């Protein structure tokens, strides 16, 4: 790769899959999602490319595409050699623009757009290096990892020195853990059986399938009707037996008091965690719920919009399971900070996946976490939903209930060109030079 290669253009494509037709992904808040990708490709002058995406559920995917497009002038022209030296460069450049910052700050559409571009930048680096992302990240030294983290607003909970200690401690045994991951993969749990729109028959059949496939935890969507939830939980429990854990996910359906009451009404079915019981912004509310439903752990994070929110959830012991998302915060760069925070507070990370492309991307973060950050698999697993993997050039795969270690270069966000063509939303393919 000649030293003077640079990002020459940014391409954005609005890709939408009509998943609502089958009620995949239906839950108490999201009745008819069309899994969509605001898909970004950074093209370099020498013909390399980096791929990233923001995930949405349909309408508004064009808004994220417009936001990504608006960011293009800030990344076009960046030299690849500068990015190699300083992998936090794209993130710092995009987050540092004060005019765009007003649109958040660091939240919502503009932050998701920044995340997509940041991830495409990382993807470019790992592809150039010929390395899968998790191994690329695990190969950075502790100082480089610390250098990626934006400690602004974090230092009351995590200092650069503390983060360095975390990464340095993980140097010990890293090579063995990398080997273990390549051999055994990483634990997964199955969400596929539990969508709210599925019939009881389909629920039972998919529960049986999940057990047969070796999953040791499944997840059911709840929050529509408490008696329905009890019936479905009872059916699921009967089907999977007592050795398979069952988590439940309310997708933000309740107020604080309602959450406490409802979760307690489901407790007899031995709940592995209660996920998103209320507003993803309600740190104080999650803390109150966690105290009231203990020992059932409270899980949240897929809508947690930045590291400052994660910090507070951890400070108030409001999340016992941290469910980071690969495409909600400002990309891998911010997720390195989130993983370091989780390690500092000793909270397990069980990433959000599903949708389109999330399984493909987020597995790299958990593999990296085990290899080079927490060094732990204790209670940790990655969500698995069996949708839309066929559209990816490096699809996530499962073997005996575990994610197989990805071994192709990059962050796995690249879609098969024919899929992109087939599902591009009309009039939303744009290039920016």
Among 14, 106, 229, 360, which residue sits at the site for a copy of itself (rule: CB under 8 A)?
A: 106
Among 18, 60, 173, 214, which residue sits at the site for a copy of itself (rule: CB under 8 A)?
A: 60
Nearest approach in angstroms of CB 155 to a copy of itself is 5
33 touching a copy of itself, by CB under 8 A: yes
Q: Say how many C-beta atoms besides its own lie within 10 A of residue 308's C-beta.
A: 16
Residues 74 to 103 in contact with a copy of itself, rule: CB under 8 A: 97-103
Bin 324: left if φ > 0, else alpha if -120 < ψ < 50, else beta.
Answer: beta
Cα of 394 vs its chain's centroid, Å: 17
Element holding 23 (H helix, E strand): none
Among 66, 168, 169, 424, which residue sits at the site for a copy of itself (rule: CB under 8 A)?
A: 66
Nearest approach in angstroms of CB 309 to a copy of itself is 6
Token pair, residue 430, equals: 């744009």
Nearer to a copy of itself, 155 or 294 (CB): 155
147 touching a copy of itself, by CB under 8 A: no
348 touching a copy of itself, by CB under 8 A: no
30 touching a copy of itself, by CB under 8 A: yes
Size, binding site for a copy of itself by CB under 8 A? 61
329 touching a copy of itself, by CB under 8 A: no
Residue 278, CA atoms < 13 Å, CB-side half-sphere: 23
Nearer to a copy of itself, 188 or 318 (CB): 318
Nearest approach in angstroms of CB 70 to a copy of itself is 6
431 touching a copy of itself, by CB under 8 A: no
Nearer to a copy of itself, 169 or 312 (CB): 312
280 touching a copy of itself, by CB under 8 A: yes
Among 64, 83, 248, 250, which residue sits at the site for a copy of itself (rule: CB under 8 A)?
A: 64
Among 5, 50, 95, 107, which residue sits at the site for a copy of itself (rule: CB under 8 A)?
A: 107
Secondary structure of residue 1 in the 3-state scheme: coil
282 touching a copy of itself, by CB under 8 A: yes
Cβ pair 348, 377 in contact under 8 A: no
CB neighbour class for 221 (10 Å; exposed up to 12, middle 13-18, buried from 19): buried
335 touching a copy of itself, by CB under 8 A: no
Nearer to a copy of itself, 105 or 395 (CB): 105
271 touching a copy of itself, by CB under 8 A: no
316 touching a copy of itself, by CB under 8 A: yes
For the chain, the straight-line distance linking the first and the last C-alpha, in angstroms and rounded, comes to: 21
Token pair, residue 220, equals: 């059911």
- The Cα–Cα gap between 233 and 219 comes to 10
Among 6, 86, 92, 105, which residue sits at the site for a copy of itself (rule: CB under 8 A)?
A: 105
Residues 205 to 264 in contact with a copy of itself, rule: CB under 8 A: 252, 255-257
Taken in order 334, 340, 341, 342, the sign of the CA dihedral is positive
Nearer to a copy of itself, 289 or 372 (CB): 289
- The Cα–Cα gap between 286 and 262 comes to 14
Q: What is the CA radius of gyration of the chain?
A: 21
Q: Which residues pair with 37 in a beta bridge?
A: 15, 55
DSSP codes joined into one string, 171-238 = TTTHHHHHHHHHHH-EEEEEEEEE-TTS-HHHHHHHHHHHHHTT-SEEEEE--S-HHHHHHHHHHHHH
Q: Footprint of a copy of itself on this chain (CB under 8 A)?
A: 29-34, 56-60, 62-64, 66-67, 70, 97-112, 151-156, 252, 255-257, 278-285, 288, 303, 305-306, 308-309, 311-312, 315-316
């Amino acid at each position: 790769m000649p030293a003077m290669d640079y990002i020459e253009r940014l391409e954005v494509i609005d890709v939408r899959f009509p998943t609502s037709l089958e009620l995949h992904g239906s839950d108490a808040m999201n009745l008819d999602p069309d899994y969509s990708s605001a898909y970004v490709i950074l093209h370099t002058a020498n013909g390399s490319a980096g791929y990233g995406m923001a995930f949405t559920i349909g309408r508004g995917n064009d808004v994220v595409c417009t936001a990504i497009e608006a960011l293009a002038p800030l990344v076009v022209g960046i030299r690849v050699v500068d990015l190699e030296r300083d992998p936090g460069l794209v993130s710092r450049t995009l987050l540092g623009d004060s005019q765009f910052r007003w649109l958040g700050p660091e939240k919502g559409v503009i932050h998701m757009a920044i995340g997509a571009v940041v991830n495409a930048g990382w993807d470019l680096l790992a592809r150039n290096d010929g390395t899968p992302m998790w191994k690329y990240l695990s190969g950075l030294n502790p100082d480089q990892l610390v250098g990626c983290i934006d400690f602004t607003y974090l230092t009351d909970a995590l200092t650069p020195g503390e983060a360095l200690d975390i990464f340095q401690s993980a140097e010990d045994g890293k090579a063995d853990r990398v080997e273990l991951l390549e051999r055994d993969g990483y634990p997964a749990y199955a969400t596929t059986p539990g969508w709210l729109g599925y019939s009881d028959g389909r629920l039972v059949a998919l529960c049986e399938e999940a057990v047969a496939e070796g999953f040791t935890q499944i997840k059911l969507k709840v929050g529509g009707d408490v008696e329905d939830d009890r019936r479905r939980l009872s059916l699921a429990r009967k089907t999977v037996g007592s050795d398979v854990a069952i988590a439940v996910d309310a997708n933000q359906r309740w107020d604080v008091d309602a959450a406490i009451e409802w979760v307690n009404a489901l407790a007899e079915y031995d709940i592995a965690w209660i996920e998103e019981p209320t507003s993803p912004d309600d740190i104080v509310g999650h803390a109150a719920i966690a105290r009231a439903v203990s020992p059932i752990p409270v899980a949240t994070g897929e809508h947690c919009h930045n590291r400052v929110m994660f910090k507070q959830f951890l400070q108030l012991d409001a999340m016992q399971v941290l469910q980071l998302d690969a495409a909600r915060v400002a990309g891998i760069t911010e997720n390195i900070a989130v993983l370091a925070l989780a390690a500092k507070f000793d909270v397990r990370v069980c990433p959000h996946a599903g949708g389109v492309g999330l399984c493909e991307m987020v597995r790299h973060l958990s593999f990296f976490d085990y290899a080079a950050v927490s060094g732990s698999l204790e209670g940790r697993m990655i969500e698995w939903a069996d949708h839309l993997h066929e559209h990816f050039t490096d699809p996530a795969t499962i073997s005996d209930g575990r994610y197989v270690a990805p071994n192709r270069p990059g962050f796995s966000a690249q879609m098969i060109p024919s899929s992109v063509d087939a599902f591009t939303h009309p009039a939303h393919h744009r290039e920016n030079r």
